[in-house]
Chain A
Amino acid sequence: MNIRVTNQVQVAATLANLRRQSSTQAKFQDQIVSGFAVKAASDNPLNFAMLARAREAATTLATSMQVASEASNSVEAGVSALVDNNKILGRAKQLVIAANNPDSTPTSDEANAQELDQLINRFLQNSNSQIDGRYLFGGDNTTTPPFRVAATNSDGKPTSIVYEGSVTPASAEVGGQFTVETGSVGSGIFQSPTANAFQSLISFRDTLRNTALTPTERSDALTRHLAEFEAAESVLSSAIGAKSGSASGLEAIQSRLQDQRIASLSRADELGATDYTEAILRFKQEESAYQATLNVAAKLVPPSLFDLIR
């Protein structure tokens, strides 16, 4: 410690202390007001990169959750359409059995054929299902109706339905790891080479209206239709299973993404959020020191010896 302490030294030390204390107070004030302890890299260079990663992860995971949710809606809408088409095939099977009943009459056949016309339309509508304007069964051709009536009979009822979608499925990547099919290739589900559901329904309807068939021919045809519907049901069930699996996978992913997002937010808070207890205590500490420095500065040059001269 120096024996001689001059005014200049006292003033310089006071100014340096006041500057430092003001700066520190401002820093803690900003932390308290903003809620962020690390706003710029210079606040904590070591944590900044980790904080940036954690914040990015949190926003990216939120986006992934949104994508997963949208994909889930697509998949569930697809499952819903497939399930309804499966019900249609089930009803068609019932109609086959009913038609095979010896008590069936041309009138009942026509009634059943008319119901089949309705079912064919419903099947077509389901196969051309959309969500948010995107067709679900046109592969990656999501803007054109995948199935079109190519030919009709004299009553204007469809006799041929063709697939005009894409043979490449539309898919979405969720969370950078999981790819989910959001646009299925409809021809593979409803018009596969081994099970053409549309053609089977049309063919069955035409059988019911065909009065020229002998009982044996009719019986053979109905047996064939039943087998076709079962094959088509099998394909649809398989597609429903695959889509349901995707839906479950998406649900699990959403849950995992939510957990990861919470963890990232927590990590970001840990790295960059204000510790209010510490910030407020440090702010008060600096405020007290600042007041003390001001008080001491006010008494730095006591005119005591000048008073003695009087």
Chain B
Amino acid sequence: MNAITIGVAALAAGQRGMAVTGQNIANASTPGYRRQGVFLASRETAGEASGVDVVRITRFEAPPLRAAILRGNSEESALAARLDSQRQVEVALGQPPSDLSSLISGTFDSLDRLATRPNDDAARREFFGKAEQLTARFNAAYKDIGQLHSDVRRSIVAQVDQVNGLTSQIAELNGQIFNTEVEGQSANELRDRRDQLIDDLSKIIDFRVIDLPNGVVNLVAKDTTLVVSEVSTKLAAGFTPDGKFEFRTADDNKTIQFSGGSLKGLQDEYNTYLPRTLDRLDALANSIAEKFDTIQATGLGTNGPRTQVVGSRRVDDPAAILDTQNLGIPIRNGQLTISVTDTATGNRTNSIIAIDPSTQSLDDLASAISTATGGLVTASVDVPQNILRIQSLPGYAFDFAGRVATAPTTNSLSGTATPTLDGALQSTGSDTFTFTAIGSGTVGTTPGLQLEVRNSANVLVTTIDVGEGYVPGTPLSLGNGLTVKLSAGTVTGGNFTADATGSPDTAGVLAGLGVNSLFSGTGAGEIRVRPEFANSPALLATSRNGQPGDTSNLKRFTDLRNQPLIGGQSARAEATDIASEVGTQIRTLDDRRSSQAAIVQNLFAQEQAMTGVDVNEEVVKLLDFQRMITAAARYISVVNEALDEIVQLVR
């Protein structure tokens, strides 16, 4: 009966072979499936051949390639996560002509157009429109990138949960594989599932896989174990004291550093790249606001001096010293010149206030302004907004343009004529000018009667005729932005002096507190054009001497175009550089990701060459096993016929 046994064994082996081949064909497209092979061996019983045995069902593996693929996955995923984030940053920054660089340029272009018609309301409105477009782009870019920053944070938290889920499942499968294989059964399907989970995990974090002989795998990230046999380590995402994301083990609170995987890419974006772009936007917005606001605050609009201004930048505590208030636009040691004009007479006096942010609070500053101006101008702090309000008494107006006081600082001029000064010094420094009478006689009548003007370095500035031909009371230009006029009367000698400044706010206090400023708010997210400009374009300070056609302050605005504002480059160049940095990162990340994807694809092809299912190959095997079964069946039939013949002999 051994012959029947042999035939039956062959039938069983053939059926098993067909089953395995069928499983291979069925899973030819199943991700993570490793092809299986049937290994047959001749069976011998008591020294006699007794058929065929299925020795084992082999699962094909390529561990070195798998390890390389896992590393490749981690690297590619980290790059892909960063690439995705940076692409969103680029979208947020906008494209020409609505990107920051183009809008900065457009804002300056609109200022340039004011050069020939500085008091034209339509041209002024065009400028405000452009400035509003610029601030809106800053706001939108900052908000979108800030939102992305928050989204990245949520993704990190979600992916940490995903990691914990995957390591837990891998640990569980470790146990199932061990239990199955220790009983001598095949756990190939379980191994496939575990490999797929490990593959998925490698796209989130990087780790090493340590294969143990008992079918168990341990996963180790740097020096921290993630999975040991049936135990997984839970991860937790948290923040460092400086607000950066970090990963720790939930049990022993040990820091884990990843160098690959999407989690690493997201962590880098959250901790480094997104904050860097946000910081650069903030710095650029603040730099633009500081420069524009300083110029705006120290100039004069078409309507001249103001009777009330309200700051647009608050402090947290008006009683605390200014240095502790984290102002977006810092205030420095320096001085502020306030000019107070009697609107009835046109007489103007200047008050100089020393500013020291390390000793003064906003309350102190308000008191100092009120005191220095003798109460003609009062400053107070609006609570709870904590902003500075400055207003003048009725009949007075004030400005910070630094125009000279109408009366000389000192006056020892002999005679009955009185000098009156006007204008603003067209330079950035300060100076004291001395006007000395040359000759003696009647203003407007005596030939050769002159005033010699020298600066504080005793350098001759100019000599002006006030004798014959001069019409008393007519202003005469000194050629430096200042004018002087003498009333009718006599001059018999002596001199007078006038203090003049080209920088009325060396402390930057007006920009810091948003007093008389063009913009409100600080930082890219908050900067806005003050709404009152939309209704009153005349507020734009194009002048320093108060004349409608004066463009001296406009020139200070337009000169900003090419001035190094931040990092040694102009505002537009900085905006372009921010976009270029992001663009370069995208290009680099994309190239690296493509290259890495090609490597992984190549490794995958190599792995598939060893472990993947080739359907044609399986069909050939199927035919082979079909023939094996056919032959075994035929063999049994022949044996059966032989036995029948033998039985017939007995009858």
Inter-subunit contact B619/A309 (CB<8 Å): yes
Inter-subunit contact B96/A174 (CB<8 Å): no
Inter-subunit contact B583/A142 (CB<8 Å): no
- A17 CB, nearest partner CB in chain B, Å: 10
Inter-subunit contact B101/A167 (CB<8 Å): no
Interface mask (A166-183 → B, CB under 8 Å = 1, otherwise 0): 111011111010000011
B620 neighbours in A (Cβ, 8 Å): 305
A70 neighbours in B (Cβ, 8 Å): 116-117
Within 68-108 of B, Cβ neighbours of A (below 8 Å) are at: 87, 90, 95-96, 101-102, 105-106, 108
* Contact of A56 (CB < 8 Å), options: B102, B471, B605: B102
A39-47, A88-96, A101-109: which one contacts chain B?
A: A39-47
* Contact of B614 (CB < 8 Å), options: A5, A12, A140, A170: A5
Q: A59-B106, A182-B116 are in contact. Are A6 and B96 (CB under 8 A)?
A: no
Inter-subunit contact B483/A12 (CB<8 Å): no
Inter-subunit contact B550/A168 (CB<8 Å): yes
* Contact of A42 (CB < 8 Å), options: B90, B106, B109, B623: B90
Interface mask (A12-43 → B, CB under 8 Å = 1, otherwise 0): 11001000000000000000000000011111
Decide if B113 is an interface residue (CB 8 Å cutoff). Answer: yes
Decide if A149 is an interface residue (CB 8 Å cutoff). Answer: no
Decide if B617 is an interface residue (CB 8 Å cutoff). Answer: yes
Decide if A11 is an interface residue (CB 8 Å cutoff). Answer: yes
* Contact of B547 (CB < 8 Å), options: A67, A166, A194: A166
- B551 CB, nearest partner CB in chain A, Å: 7
- A45 CB, nearest partner CB in chain B, Å: 4
* Contact of A67 (CB < 8 Å), options: B31, B112, B469, B608: B112
- B620 CB, nearest partner CB in chain A, Å: 7
Decide if A248 is an interface residue (CB 8 Å cutoff). Answer: no
Whole-angstrom distance between the alpha carbons of A98 and B584 in the complex?
A: 82
Decide if A126 is an interface residue (CB 8 Å cutoff). Answer: no
Decide if A267 is an interface residue (CB 8 Å cutoff). Answer: no
Whole-angstrom distance between the alpha carbons of A143 and B542 in the complex?
A: 15
- B83 CB, nearest partner CB in chain A, Å: 10
* Contact of A5 (CB < 8 Å), options: B105, B119, B609: B609
Inter-subunit contact B604/A4 (CB<8 Å): no
Inter-subunit contact B475/A45 (CB<8 Å): no
| Identity of the chain B residue whose Cβ is nearest the Cβ of A175 in the assembled complex | B112
- B499 CB, nearest partner CB in chain A, Å: 20
Q: A59-B105, A167-B477, A170-B549 are in contact. Are A39 and B609 (CB under 8 A)?
A: no
Whole-angstrom distance between the alpha carbons of A9 and B65 in the complex?
A: 15
Q: A60-B105, A140-B549, A167-B477 are in contact. Are A8 and B28 (CB under 8 A)?
A: yes
Whole-angstrom distance between the alpha carbons of A204 and B613 in the complex?
A: 116
Decide if A234 is an interface residue (CB 8 Å cutoff). Answer: no
* Contact of B609 (CB < 8 Å), options: A6, A67, A138, A163: A6
Whole-angstrom distance between the alpha carbons of A236 and B69 in the complex?
A: 88
Inter-subunit contact A194/B469 (CB<8 Å): yes
* Contact of A168 (CB < 8 Å), options: B119, B423, B586, B622: B423
A-B contact count (CB 8 A): 196
Decide if B610 is an interface residue (CB 8 Å cutoff). Answer: yes
Inter-subunit contact A74/B465 (CB<8 Å): no
Decide if B576 is an interface residue (CB 8 Å cutoff). Answer: yes
Within 150-174 of A, Cβ neighbours of B (below 8 Å) are at: 162-163, 166-168, 170-174
Whole-angstrom distance between the alpha carbons of A64 and B547 in the complex?
A: 24
Decide if A78 is an interface residue (CB 8 Å cutoff). Answer: no
Inter-subunit contact A41/B551 (CB<8 Å): no
- A299 CB, nearest partner CB in chain B, Å: 14
A56 neighbours in B (Cβ, 8 Å): 101-102, 105, 572
* Contact of A4 (CB < 8 Å), options: B29, B561, B609: B609
Decide if A82 is an interface residue (CB 8 Å cutoff). Answer: no
Decide if A3 is an interface residue (CB 8 Å cutoff). Answer: yes
Whole-angstrom distance between the alpha carbons of A70 and B112 in the complex?
A: 12
Decide if A276 is an interface residue (CB 8 Å cutoff). Answer: no
Decide if B606 is an interface residue (CB 8 Å cutoff). Answer: yes
Decide if B548 is an interface residue (CB 8 Å cutoff). Answer: yes
Inter-subunit contact A45/B584 (CB<8 Å): yes
- B461 CB, nearest partner CB in chain A, Å: 15
Within 589-644 of B, Cβ neighbours of A (below 8 Å) are at: 590, 597, 601, 604-606, 608-610, 612-617, 619-620, 622-623
Decide if B115 is an interface residue (CB 8 Å cutoff). Answer: yes
Whole-angstrom distance between the alpha carbons of A56 and B604 in the complex?
A: 49
| Identity of the chain B residue whose Cβ is nearest the Cβ of A63 in the assembled complex | B109
| Identity of the chain B residue whose Cβ is nearest the Cβ of A132 in the assembled complex | B117
Interface mask (B539-573 → A, CB under 8 Å = 1, otherwise 0): 00001010111110001001001100000000011
B470 neighbours in A (Cβ, 8 Å): 193
Whole-angstrom distance between the alpha carbons of A162 and B474 in the complex?
A: 10
B120 neighbours in A (Cβ, 8 Å): 132
Decide if B476 is an interface residue (CB 8 Å cutoff). Answer: yes
B465 neighbours in A (Cβ, 8 Å): 193
- Name which of A132, A171, A309 has the most chain B CB atoms within 10 A of its CB: A171
Whole-angstrom distance between the alpha carbons of A16 and B601 in the complex?
A: 9
B106 neighbours in A (Cβ, 8 Å): 59
Inter-subunit contact B608/A39 (CB<8 Å): no
- A226 CB, nearest partner CB in chain B, Å: 20
Binding site for A on B (CB under 8 A): 28-29, 31, 87, 90, 95-96, 101-102, 105-106, 108-109, 112-113, 115-117, 119-120, 423, 465, 468-471, 474-477, 481, 483, 543, 545, 547-551, 555, 558, 561-562, 572-573, 576-577, 579-580, 582-584, 586-587, 590, 597, 601, 604-606, 608-610, 612-617, 619-620, 622-623
Name 7 interchain pairs, CB-CB below 8 A, sorted by A.
A5-B608, A42-B90, A43-B583, A48-B579, A56-B101, A134-B119, A168-B550
20 additional A-B pairs beyond A42-B590, A140-B545, A142-B547, beta carbons within 8 Å, are A2-B609, A6-B28, A7-B614, A8-B608, A12-B601, A12-B604, A40-B583, A49-B573, A49-B577, A49-B580, A55-B102, A56-B102, A66-B113, A70-B116, A132-B120, A140-B543, A141-B547, A168-B550, A183-B549, A193-B468
